[in-house]
């Protein structure tokens, strides 16, 4: 992926950029489009300029430069959040040609049914557990939680000093990371990353050196990203995990035809835990989101599986809002 056209600061040193968090299905898993080996030497999300003279809307600008840089045609897109914290531009501003400027970035979430080949140098599809290894509970509670994160957060809480502050820190860590039997809420991916940053445990905290954080990054907490891109990615994961339950946007990640097992695998990849197969399929039947085509797909080592399609008319008639994601078992 080549570097974006330089951003142009206004008279007050303010520039506006656009960030894209683009998820697509790769080998049955949700993957994210990243750029590697650019000027910052850190993995980044696609980032480009908003040109108020050339782009009538933010979304038009986003689609144009993503197409230009990667050859990827964006499908479903929605605005995610606006990121403008002071200091977030370093080291990204140098990459964008806006050194010394305050960079405001409008983030977008994009979904596509296939992780197609990319033409841009450095553009690649990556699994998001590469950046958040504690978020995948499909094979059980990740060892990094008990071996690395839990003891580090307990130490961070103990260092708070006053008993009230210590208790507040512990309560936050317990609720966010599911310590000591507290439930795990998959939609709090952003809260978890921000807590690790506040505690100084991730590499970005040491790099940014804001003076507000005593940084002591520990190994095993995922790959850092340029600027605040790991925070932006965590924001998108939280949004997607919550939204599939009240909007059927998961079908934006599916091809025209798919098996129910393929659909379940994608949903499990998104929420990060195993789903109860029978309850999931019963909920699908009640919602009316899918219908069988009568066509079969051969599967290696098993019986042929029927191919289904998404019934868009179910959305128009308001039969159901989103997908049920019944857990196979409690996630610790």
Strand 47-49 versus strand 14-26 pairing type:
antiparallel
Is 239 part of a structural domain of the chain?
no
pLDDT tens, position by position, 34-67? 987 655 678 989 888 888 888 788 888 888 888 8
Q: How many domains does one find in the chain?
A: 3
C-alpha triplet 16, 229, 35: angle, nearest 5°: 95
Q: Which burial class, exposed, middle or buried, applies to 318 when counting CB atoms under 10 A from its CB (0-12, 13-18, 19+)?
A: exposed
Closest listed residue to residue 214, CA positions, set 288, 282, 156, 128? 156
Residues 121 and 27 both lie in one domain: yes
Is 299 part of a structural domain of the chain?
yes
Residues 285 and 261 both lie in one domain: yes
**252 compared with 97, residue with greater pLDDT:** 252
What's the whole-number average pLDDT of the chain? Answer: 85
Measured CA to CA, the distance from residue 47 to residue 107 in angstroms comes to 9
Is 229 part of a structural domain of the chain?
no
Q: Could you tell me if 32 and 23 are in contact, meaning their C-beta atoms sit under 8 angstroms apart?
A: yes
pLDDT tens, position by position, 216-271? 888 999 999 988 899 999 999 999 999 999 999 999 999 999 999 999 999 999 99
Q: Which of 80-94, 207-221, 291-305 has the lowest mean pLDDT?
A: 80-94
What does the pLDDT average to over 172-191? 96
* pLDDT confidence band for 94 (50 / 70 / 90): very low
Is 55 part of a structural domain of the chain?
yes
Is 244 part of a structural domain of the chain?
no
CATH for 114: 3.90.79.10
What's the pLDDT score for residue 99? 58
Closest listed residue to residue 196, CA positions, set 216, 226, 178, 211? 216
**Distance from CA of residue 285 to its chain's centroid?**
28
Residues 122 and 42 both lie in one domain: yes
**99 compared with 164, residue with greater pLDDT:** 164
* pLDDT confidence band for 332 (50 / 70 / 90): very low
What does the pLDDT average to over 151-164? 93
Residues 112 and 144 both lie in one domain: no
pLDDT surpassing 50 at residue 95: no
Q: Could you tell me if 210 and 239 are in contact, meaning their C-beta atoms sit under 8 angstroms apart?
A: no
pLDDT surpassing 70 at residue 10: no
Alpha-carbon separation of residue 154 from 151, 159, 276 (angstroms): 5, 9, 33
Identify the domain containing residue 193 by its residue range: 139-222
**Has this prediction a pTM greater than 0.95?**
no
HSE-CB of 79 using CA atoms within 13 angstroms: 11
Measured CA to CA, the distance from residue 176 to residue 189 in angstroms comes to 9
Is 6 part of a structural domain of the chain?
no
């Amino acid at each position: 992926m080549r570097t974006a056209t330089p951003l142009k600061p206004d008279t007050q040193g303010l520039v506006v950029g656009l960030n894209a968090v683009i998820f697509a299905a790769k080998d049955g898993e949700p993957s994210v489009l990243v750029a590697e080996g650019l000027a910052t030497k850190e993995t980044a999300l696609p980032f480009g300029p908003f040109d108020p003279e050339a782009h009538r809307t933010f979304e038009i600008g986003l689609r144009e430069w993503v197409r230009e840089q990667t050859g990827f045609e964006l499908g479903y897109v929605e605005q995610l959040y606006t990121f403008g914290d002071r200091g977030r531009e370093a080291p990204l501003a140098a990459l964008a040609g806006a050194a010394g400027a305050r960079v405001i970035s409008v983030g977008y979430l994009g979904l596509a049914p296939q992780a197609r080949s990319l033409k841009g140098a450095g553009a690649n599809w990556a699994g998001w557990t590469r950046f958040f290894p504690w978020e995948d509970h499909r094979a059980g509670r990740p060892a990094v939680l008990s071996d690395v994160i839990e003891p580090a957060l307990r130490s961070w809480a103990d260092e708070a000093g006053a008993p009230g502050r210590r208790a507040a820190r512990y309560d936050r860590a317990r609720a966010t990371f599911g310590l000591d039997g507290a439930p795990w809420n998959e939609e709090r991916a952003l809260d978890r990353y921000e807590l690790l940053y506040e505690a100084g445990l991730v590499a970005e905290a040491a790099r940014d050196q804001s003076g507000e954080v005593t940084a002591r990054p520990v190994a095993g907490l995922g790959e850092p990203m340029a600027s605040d891109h790991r925070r932006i990615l965590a924001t998108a994961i939280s949004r997607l995990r919550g939204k599939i339950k009240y909007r059927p946007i998961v079908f934006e990640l599916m091809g025209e035809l798919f098996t129910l097992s393929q659909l379940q695998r994608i949903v499990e990849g998104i929420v990060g835990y195993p789903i109860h197969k029978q309850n999931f399929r019963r909920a699908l039947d009640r919602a009316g989101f899918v219908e069988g085509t009568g066509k079969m797909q051969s599967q290696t080592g098993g019986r042929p599986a029927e191919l289904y399609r998404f019934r868009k008319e179910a959305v128009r008639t308001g039969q159901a809002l989103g997908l049920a994601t019944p857990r196979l078992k409690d996630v610790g």
